[in-house]
Amino acid sequence: MRRTRFLVSAMLLILLASSTSGCLGLVATRELMEWSRGTPTTSEQTESYSFQHTFSSNSTELEAIIHRPAPQDILFDEQVKEISIYFRVQMDLDEIGEFGLNNLTGSIRYVHARLWEPGANINTDEPFWEENATSDHYPPIERRYAPFKPGVWVLEVEAQGYGLTAPIEQFSFHDEFEVIVNVVRPCILYPEQPRGTECVPM
């Protein structure tokens, strides 16, 4: 009830101020609107970029066992304060007794992921981040903090794996991987924003 009275009073004051002539009326209206807006709070906005793939085909053709998606461009500006990188690789039946599946297929199963800074030469420079896995791989989430070089960063991945659906479930396997880069920026939340509204970039 008290908040309703406050809002009614504020609206009446805004109407009264806006009815006055000239720039003074506009200034008064703006000041009243800012005063009734409430105190904003600082939060964080996260954008995710990812590659996920499961090798599910029983074929041994190259197009089925090699996965090389188009690289993803990630725009970094001065507002980026943190990035987190999640990298997971699962390769079932990595070892059958002492005889690995690589020996059966005659090729190496791998996942190679890299994150490049703007202007990097892929042939000569070191990537900002890189992982290369040839078996199950579950490293902890890696976090990096500002400052970052502004511009377009490039996330890329190349993988080779196998999938087999066998009549006996225990002999089925499907190599899979997941690479996620989360880009975190500060943003502002206003009290009058409806729930679910996106945070306003700073």
pLDDT averaged per 10 residues, the chain (length 202): 52 54 54 61 90 79 80 96 97 55 62 97 95 93 97 97 79 88 90 65 72
The domain at 42-188 falls in which architecture?
Sandwich (2.60)
Give the pLDDT score at 196: 58
Give the pLDDT score at 189: 79
Give the pLDDT score at 106: 47
Cis peptide preceding 147, ω within 30 of 0:
yes
Give the whole-angstrom CA distance, residue 183 versus residue 43: 14
Domain spans in the chain, listed from the N-terminal domain onward: 1-37, 42-188
Q: 125, 151 in Cβ contact below 8 A?
A: no
Cα separations in angstroms, 52 against 15, 49, 87, 158: 55, 10, 10, 11
Give the pLDDT score at 110: 94
Give the pLDDT score at 99: 41
Please give the model's pTM, rounded to 2 decimal places.
Answer: 0.72
